[in-house]
Structure 1
Amino acid sequence: MTKRSAAAKRPRRERGSLNPDDIIEGAFELAEQVSIDGLSMPLLGKHLDVGVTSIYWYFRKKDDLLNAMTDRALSQYVFATPFVESRDWRESLLNHARTMRSVFLGNPILCDLILIRSALSPHAAQLGARGMEHAVESLVEAGLSVDEAFDTYSALNLHIRGSVVLQRLYDKNKEQDAEAGAYYDDIAIDPDTTPLLAEAMAKGRKTGAPDDRNFEYGLKCILDHASALLEASKNAADAASRGVSEAAAAG
């Protein structure tokens, strides 16, 4: 999803040459200028230099077009995101999470289509499910139970999406109002009444902010918990094995 220059002007289109791919590509171009919320069929027709009825021939309403854009965006996003591998589950999951966050933060349109927009097409939902299935499968192969693997990846996914969406909403508010701030910027810290908070925040910490420090801390907590579950499972298996051996020796 390469960003085009807003100043680039499309050549006038020949009659009858419009196709769905051109419409989707033009919609991404226009969304970079006006956002997903500002995208409309009449504006897109003007951008593509075609009558709006030509667009409705392929996409009957804006939601149909957004579904097609989401399918394309999600396909490219899945392709760009590293898989979780069982043989090195922690490092690959760490890389997976950081890449997901980076991709979404770096592409507001992708974030708006996949994370903020509530509706997904069946195809997009299937792509998301297959990606999650692979991650859970890898964690099970690493030694977690299905429930533990599901809960681990679900918590990780929620952590990534929550961090990205909070940042995106903050950015959108700033675009609409330069004076707008975030809730974590408005917390009143008084060294006399909240000395511990004052001490921590004097070092650059922000409570609840979707910044790198908080993201990495939450990420470490999730992975540490998964490591503890694996260690407990291994210890239980070792204990059971020793019990069998001791019973066999006693018999």
Structure 2
Amino acid sequence: MPRKENPPKRERRERGSIDPEEIINGAFELAEEVGVDNLSMPVLGRHLGVGVTSIYWYFRKKDDLLSAMTDRAIERYNLATALTYSSDDWRERLYEHAHAMRGAFLTNPILCDLILIRSSRGPRNAQLGASEIEHALEDLMREGLSLEDAYDSYSAVQLHVRGSVVLERLYDKNKAEDAGAQAHHGNLIITTAQTPLLAEAASKGRVGGAPDEQIFEYGLTCILDHTSRLIDEQKQTSKPAKRTRATKAPAKKSAPRTRAKSAS
């Protein structure tokens, strides 16, 4: 039988011909294919066409590489989700900001894995994240909120966005590992006899506990409504009291002075 020819080997790059920037870019490319969890130094070396020692020269372990990738992910995230002042209404600004955060994570699952699930960042990007929160607090406090109310309101928006995104991402990752995997809301047994209300809601397209767009909108509206009430209450309490003019009593007429005649 004719002997099978071995496939041509991929040419190795010369040692020192790669830099950290190119390694990080290649790691993102590979993570898009295999995921962050399955990323490894040897596989990355083959993807870049370099020996694994060339990667270890800059990143001593995988965790160091993931930290560098997280810093890059946060830079991309901050650019895509920065609070803008396209509207004069604080509510519209915060609404758009929340949807930008959610959209950035849903359209790029690698950002979600690195920023939310792994959540390890360098000092520079940790400071960038703090600056974004600072701007949001300043924006809310200009509307009259106290620091505490502004902090709680923005934290609630962040938690709502991240919670919905992480739940959806974890479900997608479980489904990738097991095609038959279902989310919690998909495991509910709903029957007309035992749970008529759930059955009626399901017939109208409602899925209990699902991190879908409809539930996200409902939760976000509740947070914004509450924040709006806090702003209105603050405006009411800060209104200056109306001044009432005190009615002055008519001045008493003084008796005319008579000049004493000098004795002649």
TM-score by shorter chain over 0.5 = yes
Q: 2:126 matched to which residue of 1?
A: 125
Larger Rg: 2
Aligned letter for 1:167?
Answer: E
Contact 2:31 2:39 in 1 (8 A): yes
How many Å apart are 1:12 and its aligned residue? Answer: 5.4
Q: Distance in 2 between matches of 1:13 and 1:91?
A: 52
Aligned to 2:178: 177
Residue equivalent to 2:237: 236
Mean CA deviation greater in 39-48 or 120-129: 120-129
Query: Where in structure 2 are the equivalents of 1:157-176 lying within 5 Å?
Result: 157-176=158-177
Residue 214 of structure 1, CA deviation? 0.3
1:223 aligns with 2:224: yes
Deviates more, 1:222-231 or 1:117-126: 117-126
How far the C-alpha of 1:250 sits from its partner, in A, is 4.2
Q: Determine if contact 1:84/1:134 at 8 Å carries over to the other structure.
A: no
User: What is the DSSP-based 3-state SS (H/G/I as helix, E as strand, rest coil) of the residue aligned with 1:226?
Assistant: helix
Distance 1:120 1:73 in 2: 10
Cα drift, residue 198 of structure 1: 2.1
Give 1:1-251 correspondences, 5 Å limit: 13-83=13-83, 85=85, 87-238=88-239, 241-243=240-242, 245-246=243-244, 249-250=245-246
Q: Higher helix fraction: Structure 1 or Structure 2?
A: 1
Identity between Structure 1 and Structure 2 (%): 61
| 1:100-138 deviation digits (Å, cap 9, x = unpaired) | 101100101111000110422222322211111111111
Check 1:88–1:11 CA distance in 2 against 1; reply closer, same or farther (3 A cut).
farther
Q: How far apart, CA to CA, are the structure 1 residues paired with 2:137 and 2:45?
A: 43
When structure 1 is superposed on structure 2, of 13-22 and 135-144 the one drifting more is 13-22
What's the CA shift for 1:191?
2.3
CA distance in 2, matches of 1:171, 1:22: 29
Aligned residues between the structures: 237
| Aligned AA (2:188) | I
Q: Kindly provide the amino acid, as one letter, of the partner of residue 26 in structure 2.
A: G
Residues of 2 paired with 1:82 and 1:131: CA distance? Answer: 7
Distance 1:175 1:137 in 2: 42
Name the amino acid aligned to 1:45.
G
Match of 2:262 in 1: none
Contact 2:12 2:51 in 1 (8 A): no
**Distance in 2 between residues matched to 1:151 and 1:207, nearest whole Å:** 26
Alpha-carbon distance between aligned partners in 2 of 1:83 and 1:30, rounded to the nearest angstrom: 31
Partners in 2 of 1:176 and 1:127 — Cα distance? 34
Alpha carbons 2:14, 2:50 under 8 Å: kept = no
Q: Taking structure 1 as the reference length, what is the TM-score of the superposition?
A: 0.89
Question: What is the one-letter code of the residue matched to 2:141?
Answer: V
Helix, strand or coil for the counterpart of 1:228? helix
Q: Within 2, Cα distance between the matches of 1:181 and 1:121? A: 35
Structure 1 residues 49, 73: closer, same or farther in 2, change over 3 A?
same
